[in-house]
Amino acid sequence: MRYVAALDVGTTTIQFHILNEKAVTVASSTEKVNLIYPEPSFVEIDPNHLWQTIIKVIKDTLDHSGINPKNIACIGISSQRASFITWNLKTGKYYHRFITWKDQRAATLVKEWNQSIVMRGLRMGASILYTFTRRKRFLAGSVLKFMNMQVTLKLVWALQNVPGLREAVQNEEVAFGGVDCWLLYKLTGKHIMDVSSASATGIFDPFTMEWANWALNILKLPQSIFPEVVDTAGYFGVTPKDIFGAEIPIYCSMADQAASLFGSGCFKPGDLKITMGTGTFMNVNTGREPHASIAGLYPIVGWRIGKELVYVVEGSSSDTGVVIEWAKSIGIINNISETSDAANSVNDTDGVYFVPAFSGLQAPINDYTAATGFFGLKPTTKKEHIIRSLLESLVFRIQLLHECLCKETVFTFQKIKVDGGVTKNDFVMQSLADSTGLEVERPVSVEMSILGVAFLAGLQCGIWKSREELLELRQTDKIFKPNEESRLSHQYELRQWKRAVERFKNWY
């Protein structure tokens, strides 16, 4: 029996799984990621603690499995996107902790740059070029704005504020990388990043498939610090023997949402999946065509394997699992598993609406100054109404993204494949089906990022022969079918929720 190992370094947890030839997890271990909040709006991860936790998760899984590491044929790695670090290539010393994708320290820079004459000129020039060429790259450029989720201006902030970093850059001693790149460097000594992770930074141009010269030039970002961009699947090197007890080849490194898309079996253009974890990410396979949006959706690379290049259009909401954890921390929710029953115990929210905007409101609202809050509380409001309003708000955010997709793409969607911890909630899943009018397919295992990199690594080393074989290995837990009567009710509630959102916009 040969096995495939998969490591997922997420924002809230680190997981390591060992899967057999039927893609069934036979051993696994999970540890929480320790997020650090040194100042308001700062969200960091200590690299030394992260490394120690990764090693612990791997060794715990191996110890409990009883599997000989020599029987592990290969490993795939999935990681959170757009969290980054810089380190010294000579000494290995870090210049700062990981600055995560949820970090808001560059919010002022984002606002200033988006309103700047330079960016206005760039958008105007792109608009004129699109008029004459009709090229999608220029359509995307005509509405181009920096986002807080992206690396771009947080890297500018680091170069301006981290002691010694700018000087070390001038001496060409600095390496930049995301969690994936840093981890591969630690494991193999190579300074490389796969295309899916690179495209999520905001500094990589998915239309030209290279680091974006326009961004490097106007922001004065040094080309020398960036890693070589490589295919998503292939030979990355081997793991050190002292970690696994054997040198295991790494055959895949991939951004978590791209891995989730692949693990969900979304191999064809028009295939749609939604991940509901720390945040919500809606992804559609667009094939070889990058999508240009005017509403705030963005094109990224799903994967590149040899001559195969797959693009993805993505829309996101930063606050999903975060909302659940917050509600739990202040006592609104005692047991997360009970929230579905609590929400179903009342017929509606009693006119209460919740706006989930701890990190602002992303596409299509695109207001990073929005506030979080409840609207419509009254003496008759019960705890169950509040819980229902929290869960419904997560679905309403998805519905806004779904409306964008329907307007901006030519695809006809029949089904939503879901994954992530929040999708275990039946109320949320049924509400999603009723709201969108689409069937919602929940798998037995909701850890699709793990499955995605395991699938790709296993294909590379011959564990599995084809993608058709992978589709047969996927197991469905439940399919939620839309209820037309409930859909009409959801449409009314969505309109009311949009009114509440207007009250919380432009707050800060």
Residues 42, 161 within the same domain = yes
Residues 135, 75 within the same domain = no
Pair type for strands 98-99 and 174-178: unpaired
Could you tell me the end-to-end alpha-carbon distance of the chain, in angstroms, rounded to an integer?
A: 58
DSSP 345: T
Domain residue limits at 129: 110-141
Q: What is the pLDDT along the chain (508 residues), one digit of tens a residue?
A: 899 999 999 998 999 999 999 999 999 999 999 999 999 899 999 999 999 999 999 999 999 999 999 999 999 999 999 999 999 999 999 999 999 999 999 999 999 999 999 999 989 998 999 899 988 888 888 888 898 889 999 999 999 999 999 999 999 999 999 999 999 999 999 999 999 999 999 999 999 999 999 999 999 999 999 999 999 999 999 999 988 889 999 999 999 999 999 999 999 999 999 999 989 999 999 999 898 877 778 899 999 999 999 999 999 999 999 899 999 999 999 877 889 999 999 999 999 999 999 989 998 998 888 999 999 999 999 999 999 999 999 999 999 999 999 998 889 999 999 999 999 999 999 999 999 999 999 999 888 999 999 999 999 999 999 999 999 999 999 999 999 888 888 999 999 999 999 999 999 8
450 occurs within a structural domain: no
Of the three residues 94, 119, 141, the one that is the final residue of a domain is 141
d(CA 349, CA 334) in angstroms, rounded, equals 19
468 occurs within a structural domain: no
Of the three residues 220, 240, 262, the one that is the final residue of a domain is 262
Pair type for strands 228-230 and 192-194: parallel
Residues 36, 54 within the same domain = yes
Which pair of structure tokens corresponds to residue 473? 């290995």
Residues 173, 128 within the same domain = no
Residues 396, 352 within the same domain = yes
96 occurs within a structural domain: yes
Residues 405, 419 within the same domain = yes
Residues 482, 355 within the same domain = yes
Residues 32, 78 within the same domain = yes
Residues 342, 423 within the same domain = yes
290 occurs within a structural domain: no
Residues 245, 329 within the same domain = no
Residues 242, 361 within the same domain = no
Q: CB–CB of 286/313 below 8 Å?
A: yes
272 occurs within a structural domain: no
Q: CB–CB of 147/297 below 8 Å?
A: no
Which pair of structure tokens corresponds to residue 171? 């001496």
Total structural domains in the chain? Answer: 3
Residues 19, 163 within the same domain = yes
